[in-house]
Structures are given as C-alpha cells and as structure tokens.
C-alpha cells in the first residue's frame, strides 16, 4: 500500500503547490466560508490549511486517508456528474505518503480530534479542543523521496505557483474569504463579499480595478459570467486569462482562442488580456476525469460555447465605446 501511494503521489503531488491545491479544494468541498493557508519556505518546510467547513466525523477519519476513499462519489452516475472539486479520493493518501501530516478536525461542534499520520500510517489519535472545521498541517514534504525534492524548483518559483493557485481559487470562489501567508507575510487576502472585480483588483493591482468590464450571458447549455480587463491592460502571456468551469480552474486551447477572438484587433500582436471567466454548465457536459490534476477537460458542444464567449466579450468591449 505504501508503495502504491508513493507512486500515485508522483501524479497528484508533484510540488508544494499541488499540496496547497488539493487541501484548499477539500476545504471548499467541505463548504468552508473562510480558508487560510500558511506556508513556510514555499511549502517545503510546512503547509497549513485551515477551514471552517464541515469537519470530519470521527469514524470517517481513517477513511479520509485511505486510497480511493472519497465521500464525494457514490455511484458511476456521480462520476459523470461531478459537482465537487475532488472525487478521486487519492489526495490525502498521496500527501501522507510523502510528508508528515497533522490533522485537527471538529464536525458538528462536537469534540475535536487530533491525528498524526506518517508514511501512510496513523501514528497518533487523541481528543483535542478544536473549532468547527479542519486544519491540516503538512510538514517536511518529500523528506522520504529525495528525487522529487531535487526536482522542486527554487523557493521563489514554488511560492509563485502557490500564489497563482490561491489567486485562482479567490477568483473562482468570490464568496469565500481567503488568506495566504508565506513566512508570516500576507500575499493574498480577500473579503469573501462575492465581488469578482474586487478580488481581481487584489490580485492584479488597483490600477486595473476600474477597467474591468462585466460579461454575462447564456445559451441553452451554458451560462458565462466574468470580468474582462479593457485592452489597455494587456500582458505578455496567456497566464492572466483564467477560465473556470463550475468553479474549477481549467485550461482549454479552444476557449482561449474564443476569448482572443472577442478582443480581435484590440489586442496588439503578442499581447494577451486579463480575464476571469466562469462557465456554469451541466456537469454531464464536461469530462474532468481526463487527468489526475483535473485541469484538462473535454467539453461537449464546444462550438456553441466558443461563439457565446466571443460574442459576450465583443459586445462588452463595444458597449464600453473603446
Ligand atoms: P477527495 O477530495 O477526492 O474525496 P481527498 O483524498 O482529497 O479525496 O480527501 C478524502 C476525504 O477526506 C474527502 O472525501 C473528505 O470526506 C475528507 N476531507 C478531506 N479534507 C477535508 C476537509 N478540509 N474538510 C472535510 N472533509 C475533508
Ligand atoms: Mg480532495
């Protein structure tokens, strides 16, 4: 079992940012309205994620760390109608195979539980005082897989990736209050008031704040909402174009093209816009089960969605009388 976990860990947990991603996804799935992430040494020393979500019931604690243990899928039907961010039930198992994990959790305002897991083994479980929700601390990441540790890039690069991921969570879940701290420095703090333009101002700087145009529209199958920056705020790469499907950050070449088509001649050659767009659709129309990191997706009726996105952006920018 330990070996299997370590092998799978290579897929799910390739760097500190992947741990942050998986833990924050769990917090969101648990219905949290406040999520705090604290990292030391870009996560290599420690990653602590605290949420005020559902917590984990005592009897479910051993299950949570088990391989393919997920509370989120109950049938084959569920697998093709995924509404939660997690569903494979392998993140916690993978993380505990390559680090030392401490979990503190409290469900239904009952007594709290403190659990320590090392090398996929539960080494301690005690009662403790805890607030409603869950805190997971991951220490000494990759201590037992030196090859992977070596593969991790500079602390600066790793922290950048963690920040990117947190920024995207903040943009896709504007009603959650997020905080990211790195070695006691605050890198991101949102209010959770549901306003995407305010989150984007936090993430991309205040100068962009008043130049964010709202887009909103739907066809039978898709609803698209978001904010797009006016073309004077272009960037040198595609990195600032964030696409979400049902709240999950995704990458999709065709939809990126649709966004660029909406800006059309307003973009200088080699320049890209700043946008955050969320697409709501029947989960049955999107297959996120293509890759363990769940970032690449397959869509049904792609042309319909492309046309909608391009039109919404073009109309929004025209309406601004540029
Ligand atoms: P998945 O998210 O795919 O179900 P994970 O390995 O990420 O798998 O988590 C395993 C299980 O542990 C989840 O299904 C959930 O029941 C529980 N869990 C993990 N993190 C939390 C959390 N922050 N709050 C509540 N439950 C959690
Ligand atoms: Mg998960």
Could you write out the DSSP letters of every residue in 130-189? --SEEEEEEESTTTT-HHHHHHS--HHHHHHHHHHHHHHHHHH-TTSEEEEEETTEEEEE
ipTM of predicted complex: 0.99
Kindly give the number of the ligand 1 atom that is closest to the alpha carbon of 94. Answer: 6
Separation of CA 197 and ligand 1 centre (Å): 30
Shortest-distance Cα residue to atom 10 of ligand 1: 64
Q: Which of 272-276, 294-298, 309-313 has the lowest mean pLDDT?
A: 294-298
Give the closest ligand to the alpha carbon of residue 93.
1
Residues in Cβ contact with 318 at an 8 Å cutoff, skipping those fewer than 6 apart? none
pLDDT in tens, 16-53: 999 999 999 999 999 999 999 999 999 999 999 999 99
129 close to 112: Cβ distance less than 8 angstroms = yes
Which is more confidently placed, 46 or 321? 46
Give the torsion sign (CA, 86, 144, 142, 60). Answer: positive
Separation of CA 25 and ligand 2 centre (Å): 6
CATH code, residues 2-189: 3.30.565.10
> 205-319, which class in CATH?
alpha beta
Domain 2-189 identical in fold to domain 205-319: no
Which is more confidently placed, 148 or 8? 148
Give the closest ligand to the alpha carbon of residue 27.
1
pLDDT in tens, 75-101: 666 655 656 777 677 899 999 999 999
Task: Sketch the domain layout of the chain as residue ranges.
Answer: 2-189, 205-319
Number of neighbours of residue 107 by Cβ within 10 angstroms = 21
- Which residue, among 311, 266, 313, 304, has the nearest Cα to 285 in the 3D structure? 304
In Å, how far from its chain's centre is CA 11? 16
């Amino acid at each position: 079992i330990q070996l299997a976990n370590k092998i799978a860990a290579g897929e799910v947990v390739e760097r500190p940012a992947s741990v942050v991603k998986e833990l924050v996804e769990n917090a969101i799935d648990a219905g949290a309205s406040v999520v705090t992430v604290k990292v030391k040494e870009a996560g290599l020393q420690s990653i602590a994620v605290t949420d005020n979500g559902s917590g984990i019931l005592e009897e479910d604690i051993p299950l949570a760390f088990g391989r393919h243990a997920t509370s989120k899928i109950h049938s084959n039907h569920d697998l093709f109608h995924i509404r939660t961010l997690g569903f494979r039930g392998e993140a916690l198992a993978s993380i505990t195979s390559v680090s030392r994990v401490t979990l503190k959790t409290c469900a239904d305002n009952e007594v709290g539980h403190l659990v320590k897991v090392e090398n996929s083994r539960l080494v301690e479980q005690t009662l403790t005082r805890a607030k409603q929700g869950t805190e997971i601390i991951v220490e000494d990441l990759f201590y037992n897989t030196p090859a992977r540790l070596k593969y991790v890039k500079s602390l600066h690069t790793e922290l950048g990736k963690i920040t990117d991921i947190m920024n995207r969570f903040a943009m896709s879940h504007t009603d959650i209050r997020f905080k990211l701290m790195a070695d006691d420095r605050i890198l991101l703090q949102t209010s959770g008031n549901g306003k995407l333009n305010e989150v984007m101002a936090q993430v991309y700087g205040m100068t962009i704040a008043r130049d964010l145009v709202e887009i909103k529209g739907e066809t039978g199958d898709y609803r698209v909402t978001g904010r797009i920056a006016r073309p004077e705020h272009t960037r040198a790469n595609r990195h600032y174009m964030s696409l979400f499907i049902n709240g999950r950050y995704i990458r999709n070449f065709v939809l990126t093209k649709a966004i660029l088509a909406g800006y059309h001649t307003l973009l200088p050659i080699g320049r890209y816009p700043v946008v955050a767009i969320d697409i709501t659709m029947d989960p049955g129309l999107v297959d996120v089960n293509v890759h363990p990191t769940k970032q690449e997706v397959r869509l049904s009726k792609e042309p319909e969605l492309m046309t909608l996105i391009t039109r919404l952006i073009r109309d929004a920018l025209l309406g601004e009388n540029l």
